[in-house]
Amino acid sequence: MVAVTRTHADLRYGASPRGSIALVRAAQALAATYGRTYVTPDDIKEVAVPVLGHRLILTPEAELNQREPAVIVAEVLDHTPAPTRVGAERR
**Mean pLDDT lowest for which of 45-49, 67-71, 73-77, 84-88?**
84-88
Question: What total of structural domains would you count in the chain?
Answer: 1
Q: Is 45 exposed, middle or buried (0-12, 13-18, 19+ CB in 10 A)?
A: middle
- Contact indicator for 51, 79 with CB cutoff of 8 Å: no
The answer to whether residue 87 sits within a structural domain is: no
CATH number of the domain where residue 14 is located: 1.10.8.80
Which tens digits make up the pLDDT trace of 6-29?
Answer: 999 999 999 999 999 999 999 999
Confidence of residue 53 (pLDDT cuts 50, 70, 90): very high
Dist. CA 81–CA 91, nearest whole Å: 20
Dist. CA 44–CA 77, nearest whole Å: 9
The answer to whether residue 57 sits within a structural domain is: yes
- Contact indicator for 77, 1 with CB cutoff of 8 Å: yes
**Residue 87: left (phi > 0), alpha (psi -120 to 50), or beta?**
left
The answer to whether residue 88 sits within a structural domain is: no
Whether residue 87 has pLDDT greater than 70: no
